[in-house]
Amino acid sequence: GRDDKEALATGGPGAEWYVRATNMLYSFWAQSDTPSYKWYAEQFEKGKAGAEVNVEQMVDDSILCIGGPERCAQIAGHFRDQGVDQLIFLVQHGPTKHEAILDSLRRFGEEVIPQFKNEA
């Protein structure tokens, strides 16, 4: 989005949908006695404490990269400062409209990536 408010309104519902869908998937695996699903059971148990999905908090914690160009650059910079040199984004999920996804990718390429061009 052009700013944090617009970006949260556009991308927030899709991010929330994805987190809830993932939690539901873990819940099925968590009920299995199969040893290979143990990790999923542990993740599900950890997630129960935070069953409410708070997209804004996840953005504040740099778990999600949703925001205007400056906010997204701040989040990307957070990972750069930890030595990360590549980010992979999941951008197409839930109710997010295709046109909004394309606009987000274009905006990220035009307004966020150039802020890091001298670091490559």
35-92 confidence digits (pLDDT tens): 888 887 777 777 665 567 899 999 999 999 999 999 999 999 999 999 999 999 999 9
* Confidence check: pLDDT of 108 > 70: yes
* Confidence check: pLDDT of 26 > 80: no
Average per-residue pLDDT in the chain? 89
User: Based on C-alpha coordinates, what's the Rg of the chain?
Assistant: 16
Average pLDDT estimate for 9-17: 95
Give the number of other CB atoms < 10 A from CB of residue 7.
22
Give the number of other CB atoms < 10 A from CB of residue 38.
13
How much is the pLDDT for 35?
Answer: 85
3-state DSSP assignment of residue 105: helix
User: What is the b/e burial string over 77-113, where b = at least 16 CB atoms within 10 angstroms of the residue's CB?
Assistant: eeeeeeeeeeeeeebebeebeeebbeebeebbeeebe
How much is the pLDDT for 107?
Answer: 97
Say how far apart CA 64 and CA 56 lie, in whole Å: 9
Average pLDDT estimate for 2-27: 90
Which two tokens mark 22?
């993932």
Residue given tokens 């996840």 in the structure block: 58
Longest dimension (CA), the chain: 51
Query: Considering the chain, what percentage of its residues have pLDDT values greater than 90?
Result: 62
On whether the CB atoms of residues 47 and 26 are closer than 8 A, the answer is yes
